[in-house]
Chain A
Amino acid sequence: MAGHQQAVWNDSESDGYEPLLAEKDRTTVDIEYDGLPEDLTRDSISLPALSEPEAARHYTRLSQMNYGIDSGPYPLGSCTMKYNPKFTEDIATRASAAVHPDRLEGSVQGTLQLYAELQDYLGRIGGMDAVTLQPPAGAAGEFTGILVAAAYHDRNGEGDERTEVIVPASAHGTNFATAAMAGYDVVELPATDDGRVDLEALESAVGSETAALMLTNPNTLGLFERDIAEIADIVHDAGGLLYYDGANLNALLGRARPGDMGFDIMHYNVHKTFATPHGGGGPGAGPIGVTEELAPFLPSPQVRQGSDGYELFEPSESIGKVHGAMGNWLVLLKTHAYIRRLGDEGLEDASAKAVLNANYLASQIDLEVPFGPFHHEFVASAGEIDAADFAKRMLDFGVHPPTTKWPEIVPEALMTEPTEVESKRSLDRLAAAFDAVDKDADALESAPERTSARYIDQTSAARSPRLSWHALSGEE
């Protein structure tokens, strides 16, 4: 089984790999400026002063010590790491895209048209009546959605009573954190033995205190909640709202829509479903869609086509704003381009290939893969091996490992989502990497060996945090 060797830049100037900028140079400049009173300016500033060629080499070397989806497979479960079409970058870097957010609506008709079109596309894809593009990430979308739910209950005079948000035990951590951030008590919902929502537990969890149930479907095991219609009835009968976490939407494009399943609110993760690059942590965008009944509560402004062109408007009972402007516009622009490129057939085909790939890969690895058949992802068990160690060894085979140790329902979980972009050949090599790791427990100890850095001690990093050049050199 072949592997790869990641670049290892090393330099005697540093006790690390590629030296820090501040190890290459740190120049202190005294601030001398007679334009302002001296007491209003700082005394000095101390930063690296490098030439452009030196800077280019520094960041190029750092890029070579980084792994992206263009480097190889990235089957990080629940993160949907797809290939990011490059032409979308070219559109997003157009000068005409980079307008100031205070431009009057009449002067940015092109931007507003694309904005309105994307609201419309996402509404159709999710089966929702109205969409806001303002939340700048999935978690921000969750927060927005829960604020909308709160505003709805307030309007109905039930805001003080409905103090709980129900979240399945296997849900993304953001769901719990979002509910708490919006001021709700979190009620955790246990799963059935096959990882699905336990209807009896749900029946006893809901009540007059329920503001919402947050759910992802398919769930984090890749299983469709077949009882979704009953779940929706239970929540709605109790007067609660049903929130759809869109992290797993890549499993369902064209097969089922959250709006048709009874969800009242959903967020879309555009870097997952619509292939905008994740940029090493962001920016993403987390638009939310809602039913007609909830549309008046959406953030302001919304965009619509009026008689004189595209215009901004404030929904009648708007929750206000969740971002200082119109959201992560350049990311939204790439989303628009991706959706237009694929169209209906392409989007449906993306889900078809994503689901086929997950099931095929699950069938090709020797590890135990409980549950199934799957949609977009599956959770294998590393068995006797610690899943974190398993992942470190996988790095040596030139692939990014799956998400580890979660969901906890599967022991030593390896949550794997190959997405539609891997070929059969690539999946076969990925399966071979899984098996090679599984069959050579002796190699785990020294892994990873072919990455830029060797195994990194994360515990000591947290025990004595050093978070800047200043901390490393013992400065205040």
Chain B
Amino acid sequence: MSQHETTLSTATSRSGTPFAPHSEADVEAMLQAVGADSVEDLFDVPESVRFDGSFGIDAASERDVRRQLTETLERNDSVTEFLGRGHYDHYVPSLVDHLADRSEFLTSYTQYQPEITQGFLQTLFEYQSLLVELTGLGVANCSMYDAATALGEAATLSQRIRAVTGDRVLVPDTLLDERRAVLENYVSGADLVVAEYQTDGGVVDPDEIAAAVDDDVAFVYVENPTTSGRIQPALEEIGTHLADSEVLFCLGSDPVALSLLQTPASVGADVVVGDASTLGLGSAYGMGLGLFACREEYLRQVPGRLVGASEDDRGQRAYTLTLQTREQHIRRERATSNICTNQAWVALRAAIHATLLGPDGLVDLAKSCHRLPQRLAARIDAIDGIEAPADEYPTLREFRATVEPPASEFVSALYEEGFAVHAVDEETVQICVTDANEREIDAFVAAIAEVLD
């Protein structure tokens, strides 16, 4: 008897998967029905490629796996993060977890049968609507993976728009390395090249854009807020410059920032990308929710899934995935993207979170993202040995501060006191504060004073 048959014959003693409900008698009856002597006979695998070894992975009870993995995770240092730079935390109300974990949502597949999956489709339709309201653009999709991959998809969109003839993708010199690296890979197959334009620490000078854009440019990317949290002072002028050309103007932002700042549509943006998991999820080791919205005229070139309204046989409004002829399972190598599985459940979480906040709550949250760093910077600035903020630009969620070189030493000392901040260069650190860590501000300020004392 082979090892595998042993496994099956002892199935009732639970040595196999706990998630298959077969009794020994079931297995026997089923084998008889298919005319096989053993389950192993059903595997049509030639001897030459058969695997006779073991993985060497021991099974464990639910309780033990929970305990082991939880204990391992607890090996992470318990520190309070004042970290941002593209990944932000806001308090996520309990109801988001409770509703999103309803298993009708959590355990469903993509809505290929819309009649039986109206609930999720409607939620995604509401998520798209939220983004349309926040961006002012006509179309938002049901998600990309994260901000970096959404940027990559936006850049390649320029290649599918007939009026755009250039092949250069312009990004700010302050773009996060990881976003730049992902973008490079996304454009590698599309005959586009990535180039930088100069900024003043992320802040874009419209004249710089005007000078940088010529017929070879297909796509210009601007972030608001920037990598260091700065709010762009001249988006409208940038948009006016770019409106005269066929260049695609892409703005990077997030739903909380968009609740307060100028709408992308009002400054002439053609596409908006970013991380929408600032609502509903938070940083989660960088797992994100790729925001993607654009002008309605690009509708048939949009990557990813779209939910649209239709009618059912009763004449009632109902929802369905739509314009699927853009997608890989229909269009194959002519699809607008290869994306299939996306971040739908994270989009559901963002939609629920936005619902709970409502318009007042969202705007208040965004205002606090401006007020909190201002106040914290002022308190830190009163401490000898640190200057904050390091510049005069208004910021959202974060700010930079100047310390005695080397900044890494200050960051390490602060870490020993239980607080994590970014070291940016020899004399600069970056500090992020939101509603998620604002209750730790007093202790944080005291720790900085202690470290610099």
Contacts and interface: CB of A to CB of B under 8 A. Distances in A.
Interface string B84-128: 011101000101011101111111111111111111101111101
Contacts, number: 678
Interface in A171-188: 172-174, 176-184, 186
B280 to A, nearest CB: 12
A393 B97 CA distance: 34
Contacts of B68: 340
A95 B351 CA distance: 22
B240 interface: no
A293 to B, nearest CB: 20
B4 A279 contact: no
B118 A452 contact: yes
A288 to B, nearest CB: 14
B370 A229 contact: no
Interface residues of A, number: 201
A176 B360 CA distance: 46
Contacts of A355: 39, 42-43
B178 interface: yes
B389 to A, nearest CB: 14
A155 interface: no
Contacts of A342: 17-18, 59
B73 A114 contact: yes
A109 interface: yes
Contacts of A406: 329
Contact of A174 (B15, B236, B340): B340
Contacts of A451: 115-116, 118
A320 B260 CA distance: 35
B39 A352 contact: yes
Nearest to B85: A102
Interface stretch (B45-53, B196-204, B441-449): B45-53
Interface stretch (B161-169, B210-218, B243-251, B320-328): B320-328
A110 B76 contact: yes
Contacts of A337: 65-66, 69
Given A331-B287, A346-B18, A455-B312, A279 B344 contact: yes
A461 B109 contact: no
A66 B285 contact: no
B285 A462 contact: no
B25 to A, nearest CB: 9
B113 A391 contact: yes
A138 B120 CA distance: 22
B146 A324 contact: yes
A344 B53 CA distance: 10
A331 B93 CA distance: 21
A183 B338 contact: no
Given A181-B338, A254-B55, A275 B188 contact: no
- Which interface residue of A68, A96, A177, A181 has the most chain B CB atoms within 10 A? A181
- Which interface residue of A66, A96, A284 has the most chain B CB atoms within 10 A? A66
A66 B341 contact: no
A127 B50 CA distance: 12
B43 A325 contact: no
A339 interface: yes
B76 A109 contact: yes
Interface in B115-153: 115-120, 122-126, 128-130, 132-134, 138-140, 142-143, 145-149
A446 B39 CA distance: 41
Contact of B133 (A18, A47, A150, A344): A47
Interface stretch (A57-65, A201-209, A235-243, A432-440): A57-65
A104 B133 CA distance: 37
Nearest to B62: A87
8 nearest A-B pairs in the assembled complex, by CB-CB distance: A325-B286, A279-B345, A343-B59, A349-B16, A281-B344, A183-B189, A324-B148, A101-B286
28 contacts: A35-B371, A59-B352, A63-B105, A66-B105, A67-B116, A67-B117, A70-B103, A109-B75, A114-B69, A124-B57, A260-B49, A279-B106, A281-B341, A324-B86, A324-B288, A331-B287, A340-B60, A341-B18, A341-B62, A345-B7, A347-B57, A349-B11, A349-B16, A353-B22, A422-B21, A452-B118, A465-B299, A467-B132
